[in-house]
Amino acid sequence: MNPAAAPAPGPAAPPRGRLAPSPTGALHLGNARSFLLAWLSVRSRGGTLVLRIEDLDHPKVKPGAAGQAIEDLRWLGLDWDEGPDAGGAQGPYVQSLRRDRYRAALAALRAKGLAYPCVCSRRDVEEAQSAPHGRDPHSLAYPGRCRGRFATWEEAAAALPPDRSPVWRFRAAPGVSAFDDLVLGRRELDLARELGDFALARDPDGAGYQLACVVDDAAMGVTEVLRGDDLVDATHCQLALQAALGLPRPAYAHVPLVVAEDGRRLAKRHGDTRLRALREAGVPAERVVGLLAWWSGLAPFGAELRPADLLPGFSLARLPRGPAVLDARVRALLGVPEPAPAAPR
């Protein structure tokens, strides 16, 4: 089953990449670095870029955040060929307007016996195993407790209190999933053992992150996906879905995250690193791009650049393999205040 997939370009064709912000909050420096690198990787080879708004995380979607993300990306100097504000043959470019595609993909998985409704809570999963699994010590491998338990979503929903909803799960096959990451190299994961039957969606029509990404990347002809390395395991899930639905596999590149000096990903406690806040404080976009380039091994510290300045000679091979760090020198460059000391316990 191939839900309205655009033909994938041949090996010699210029790449098609995508920028896919989620309007669950304002874009920060970490988001900006990934988007800049995705733009550079595609534009440096004469490729096409798609902007897609991934707004299916309903409880967290913030009003106006999609428009703000577009403004922030334009401010940085990034552009795209297709998107909500640019049009294109594979629209709409907002996921909440593409539910019919996800419904069709879910129906195909169900017909193959690969998707089923599940009522297990996180506590149920914890009780079913003695220790966490997977590379993330806080993740849990789902043991398949609800496989074959319910015939329909409605039957599963009837087994839960009114304030809870079932989740669609994908029946993971045993064996090792592998791909060659353009930044990290060979990546392997025993999906069934380390993650188990992963969640597809909490929507009866199957509109969830994993399935929506796979369906939309195929439909929009995306041949390269660049994103943060916190999504490596998600890539293995998406490879399984692509194989199940007969969809093409893009090339994947996962870049290290931007973290604070404590090693954690950026958060409010580390100071305001939102692009909007930097812009309102009068920080030039060129200074921000220069910082992102320095973090990426592409420019000296303190350089002020536009994205187009980085195109000559760009290569993913030049990227550092370690995380970028928001330290005191970076704070001083951008005028970001030092974080407040942690409250005593």
Q: pLDDT (tens digit, 0 to 9) for every residue of the chain, 345 residues total?
A: 454 555 555 456 899 999 999 998 889 999 999 999 999 999 999 999 999 999 997 778 888 999 999 999 999 999 999 999 999 999 999 999 999 999 999 999 999 999 999 999 877 776 665 544 444 444 568 888 899 999 999 999 999 999 999 999 999 999 999 999 999 999 999 999 999 999 999 889 889 999 999 999 999 999 999 999 999 999 999 999 999 999 999 999 999 999 988 888 877 666 689 999 999 999 999 999 999 999 999 999 999 999 999 999 999 999 999 999 999 999 999 998 877 665 554
7 within domain boundaries: no
pLDDT for 342 equals 56
10 within domain boundaries: no
Residues 190 and 303 grouped into a single domain:
no
pLDDT for 137 equals 42
Residue 142 per-residue DSSP state: B
218 within domain boundaries: yes
The CATH number of the domain holding residue 24 is 3.40.50.620
265: how many CB neighbours lie within 10 A of its CB? Answer: 14
pLDDT for 135 equals 47
340 within domain boundaries: no
Q: What is this structure's pTM? A: 0.90
What are the beta bridge partners of residue 115? Answer: 170
Residues 42 and 135 grouped into a single domain:
no
pLDDT for 134 equals 44
Domain-terminating residue out of 211, 243, 271: 211
Residues in the chain: 345
Residues 69 and 92 grouped into a single domain:
yes
Residues 307 and 173 grouped into a single domain:
no
Domain holding 153, by residue range, is 100-211
Whole-number Å distance between alpha carbons of 105 and 199: 15
Residues 178 and 232 grouped into a single domain:
no
pLDDT for 229 equals 95
The CATH number of the domain holding residue 196 is 3.90.800.10
Rg (CA), the chain: 21
Residues 229 and 327 grouped into a single domain:
yes
Backbone φ and ψ of 50, nearest 5°: -115, 135
Residues 226 and 329 grouped into a single domain:
yes
270 within domain boundaries: yes
Total domain count, the chain:
2
Whole-number Å distance between alpha carbons of 21 and 302: 27
Residues 21 and 161 grouped into a single domain:
no
1 within domain boundaries: no
| Inter-residue contact 293 to 37 (CB < 8 Å) | no
Residues 161 and 89 grouped into a single domain:
no
Residues 328 and 225 grouped into a single domain:
yes
pLDDT for 138 equals 42
Residues 229 and 83 grouped into a single domain:
yes
Residues 312 and 325 grouped into a single domain:
yes
Residue 250 per-residue DSSP state: P
Domain-terminating residue out of 162, 182, 211: 211
132 within domain boundaries: yes
Tokens, residue 97:
């307007």
Domain-terminating residue out of 164, 183, 211: 211
339 within domain boundaries: no
